[in-house]
């Protein structure tokens, strides 16, 4: 960003303004918009104009009955006024993404002004990464800025394909994207050890690639959440009615064997909070994770598991956390996730570098007001996971290639 002279130039900027809205289309969480403000303000403060592109929801998956796009629900115009208030600058809205009006409004834009284009996903060409649509989008601005880390793993027109229409010196990451890449780099390149990965959530199948990758990166892997029971069962434990992916049992054994071979320590929850139904109002008891009675299911890690996990976390110098330790949406099964959040914050205070990524763990850290007590909270769940998995993200490659 800072190497580019924005004076008198129009920056066309991909942001992730995919914010949640209530029924009256009020924004219920404006974090994603606030996070893009430094990049937008930088361009304005340096004599440039900004043309914003974003998607909002999945309009093509929820068409009106007659097959048309539900503009009322998905228009980015819902965000124009809130963005104006946040920036302290009036934001103009263009009712199309590309076309004659978009070209005219962009051409008329003066330094210091902001124009927001209509939802990029109103066009089917966006998700297809259509070249012609990308070229039209690119023609609206002179400098391409990508600050949408949350969609960097998608090779869509506005997130990736349009970058090729700008010379290398006129395309850049925004500040948010820069810091995501920098912080992922801190854990991927020469991390301090002991390095601990904490994983949780519902499914082993979603995290296989990540777990395999961790085997080459980390010293310790803590496995909590529903996915832990597939491992406990694979080792011969009785897990009652806990979540188990039967077809992943052989894989769990294989992962445990590979970990042993590579000297990576795997920590599974010694005990669990088991409930007699999937309900916050269920009866629950603390039991060993490998002797959960039939009819009961592990919905959170137990007290002993918390203590064991805490010890590993507090002895770590680098920590990645992705996925909750239990069904943290239900208050009776949130204690494990909360305790781990506190432990990660404590380790950070003691000098560890901690990166929290993935929707649910980020939500847990935010709920507890601990977001500023960990080193970095990633805004891109899927994108951060793919980066940690060692994949090259198309949105990053397009800017740097």
Q: Whats the size of the chain, residue-wise?
A: 401
Residue in the block written with tokens 């002004």: 113
Q: Which positions lie near ligand AMP, rule CB under 6 A?
A: 201-203, 206, 225-226, 243, 298-299, 323-324, 326-327, 329, 360
Nearest CA to 94 out of 73, 117, 70 is that of 117
Minimum distance, C-beta of residue 330 to ligand AMP, in the bound complex (Å): 8
Nearer to ligand AMP, 141 or 358 (CB): 358
Please give the sequence-ordered ranges of beta strands (E in DSSP) within 159-199, or none if there are none.
171-173, 195-199
Minimum distance, C-beta of residue 201 to ligand AMP, in the bound complex (Å): 2
Q: Which residues are catalytic?
A: 32, 203, 359, 382
Minimum distance, C-beta of residue 361 to ligand AMP, in the bound complex (Å): 8
Minimum distance, C-beta of residue 20 to ligand AMP, in the bound complex (Å): 16
* Tokens read off for 397: 């490659």
Measured from each CB, the residue nearest to ligand AMP is: 201
Nearer to ligand AMP, 129 or 336 (CB): 336
Residue 149 φ then ψ, to 5°: -60, -35
* Tokens read off for 200: 């949780």
Nearer to ligand AMP, 141 or 324 (CB): 324
Nearer to ligand AMP, 97 or 322 (CB): 322
What burial letters (b/e) apply to 144-166, b meaning 16+ CB within 10 Å? Answer: bbbbbbbbbbbbbbbbbbbbebb
Nearest CA to 51 out of 87, 99, 97 is that of 97
Could you give the 3-state DSSP secondary structure of residue 29?
Answer: coil
Minimum distance, C-beta of residue 383 to ligand AMP, in the bound complex (Å): 15
Q: Give residues with Cβ within 8 angstroms of 24, minimum separation 6.
A: none
Please, are residues 253 and 261 in contact by the beta-carbon 8 Å criterion? no
Minimum distance, C-beta of residue 388 to ligand AMP, in the bound complex (Å): 14
Residue 106 φ then ψ, to 5°: -70, -45
Nearest CA to 319 out of 353, 366, 269 is that of 353
Nearer to ligand AMP, 12 or 275 (CB): 275
CB burial class (10 A; 0-12, 13-18, 19+) of residue 79?
A: buried
Nearer to ligand AMP, 111 or 237 (CB): 237
Could you give the 3-state DSSP secondary structure of residue 66?
Answer: coil
Please, are residues 257 and 231 in contact by the beta-carbon 8 Å criterion? no
């Amino acid at each position: 960003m800072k190497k580019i002279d924005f004076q008198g130039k129009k920056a066309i900027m991909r942001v992730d303004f995919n914010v949640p809205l209530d029924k009256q289309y009020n924004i219920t969480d404006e974090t994603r918009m606030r996070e893009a403000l430094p990049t937008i303000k930088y361009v304005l403060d340096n004599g440039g104009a900004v043309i914003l592109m974003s998607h909002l929801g999945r309009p093509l998956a929820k068409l009106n009955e007659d097959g048309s796009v539900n503009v009322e629900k998905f228009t980015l115009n819902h965000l124009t006024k809130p963005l104006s208030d946040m920036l302290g600058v009036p934001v103009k809205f263009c009712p199309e993404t590309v076309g004659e009006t978009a070209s005219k409004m962009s051409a008329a834009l003066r330094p210091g002004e902001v124009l927001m284009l209509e939802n990029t996903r109103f066009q089917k060409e966006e998700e297809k990464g259509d070249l012609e649509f990308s070229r039209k989008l690119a023609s609206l601005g002179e400098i391409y800025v990508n600050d949408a880390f949350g969609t960097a793993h998608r090779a869509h027109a506005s997130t990736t394909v349009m970058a090729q229409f700008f010379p290398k010196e006129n395309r850049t990451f925004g500040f948010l994207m820069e810091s995501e890449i920098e912080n992922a780099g801190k854990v991927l390149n020469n991390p301090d050890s002991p390095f601990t990965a904490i994983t949780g959530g519902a499914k082993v199948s979603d995290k296989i690639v990540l777990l395999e990758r961790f085997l080459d990166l980390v010293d310790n892997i803590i496995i909590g959440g529903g996915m832990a029971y597939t491992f406990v069962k694979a080792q011969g434990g009785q897990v009652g009615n806990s979540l188990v992916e039967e077809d992943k049992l052989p894989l769990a054994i294989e992962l445990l064997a590979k970990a042993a071979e590579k000297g990576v320590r795997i920590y599974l929850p010694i005990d669990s909070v088991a409930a007699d139904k999937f309900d916050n109002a269920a009866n629950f008891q603390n039991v060993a994770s490998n002797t959960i009675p039939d009819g009961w299911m592990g919905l959170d890690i137990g007290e002993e598991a918390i203590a064991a996990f805490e010890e590993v976390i507090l002895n770590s110098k680098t920590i990645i956390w992705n996925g909750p330790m239990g069904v943290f949406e239900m208050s009776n099964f949130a204690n494990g996730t909360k305790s781990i959040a506190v432990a990660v914050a404590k380790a950070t205070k003691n000098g560890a570098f901690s990166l929290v990524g993935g929707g649910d763990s980020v939500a847990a850290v935010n709920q507890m007001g601990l977001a500023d007590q960990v080193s970095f909270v990633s805004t891109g769940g899927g994108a951060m996971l793919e980066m940690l998995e060692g994949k090259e993200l198309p949105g990053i490659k397009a800017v740097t290639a």
